[in-house]
Amino acid sequence: MSIEKQELINRNFLNVFNEESFREVLSEADFNTYKQARKEIHIHKGQLLFEEDQNPNGVYFIKVGTVKLSKSGVYGKDQILRFINEGDLIGYRSLVIGENFQAKAEAMSEVTVVFVPADVFLHMLKVDSNLSFAMLQKIAYELGESSNTVTYLAQKTVRERLAEVLLLLEQKLGTDPEGFIKIALTREEVANLIGTATESAIRLISEFKSDQLIETEGRHIKILNHEKLIKLGHVNI
């Protein structure tokens, strides 16, 4: 999916998931219920927002920071599913279909979220058609992304996957003033994202540096040559 389309979906969601929109659309009673029920929660880097198999009791809007969603594999090794940045919502899929969380959410930085209880959020979906449509768009987008991930893991080489992951991380999370992607990843986490051994990820990162595709500073990575990475990863951006 193009950056423009993704940004449009994000804007559509943020245009309806905010206090001003709720005040205009919801009844006075429903809006007051939302205001009284919502809670702002702060968690530190490394802490869990929720755990795998936990019963969902609401949804979480990321106000500040980045959260990592990961799932335990067959042998107990965590598989990173995706990163959620500020301005996004998590927890709604399990809540809407009535199952326990299928992944855990871990803070990758200092994180502030707005928690909306399950009964309040589900009622808002029923009475606010704009919110319902925006959520439908988000779910459709994430379904497409999951399909792309299956294809990318099955058909691309590890080198191609690393190129694509770095571009997508920069697109999703942005960069700091020096141009480094706004997340610090261990080499094991990079290996996890591209489906390879840690040793292979270390070797590939070293090769990318030698080819002047990227620059690293500890756990931070800066893309130096976007065009070559796009060609290498066969990425449509």
The pLDDT of residue 178 is above 90: yes
Q: Are residues 75 and 108 in the same domain?
A: yes
Q: Are residues 12 and 99 in the same domain?
A: yes
Chain segment 18-54, per-residue pLDDT in tens: 999 999 999 999 999 999 999 999 999 999 999 999 9
Quickly state the pLDDT bin for 102 (edges 50, 70, 90): very high
CATH number assigned to the domain comprising residue 168 = 1.10.10.10
pLDDT of residue 156: 85
- For 209, the domain range is 157-233
Domain edge (last residue) among 105, 135, 152: 152
Which range (69-73, 111-115, 198-202) has the least confidence?
69-73
Q: Are residues 15 and 82 in the same domain?
A: yes
Quickly state the pLDDT bin for 145 (edges 50, 70, 90): confident
User: How many distinct structural domains can be found in the chain?
Assistant: 2
Q: Are residues 91 and 206 in the same domain?
A: no
Chain segment 48-91, per-residue pLDDT in tens: 999 999 999 999 999 999 999 999 877 677 888 889 999 999 99
Cα torsion 52, 54, 55, 61 to 10°: value is: -70
Q: Average per-residue pLDDT in the chain?
A: 91
Domain edge (last residue) among 152, 170, 204: 152
- Mean pLDDT along residues 196-213: 95
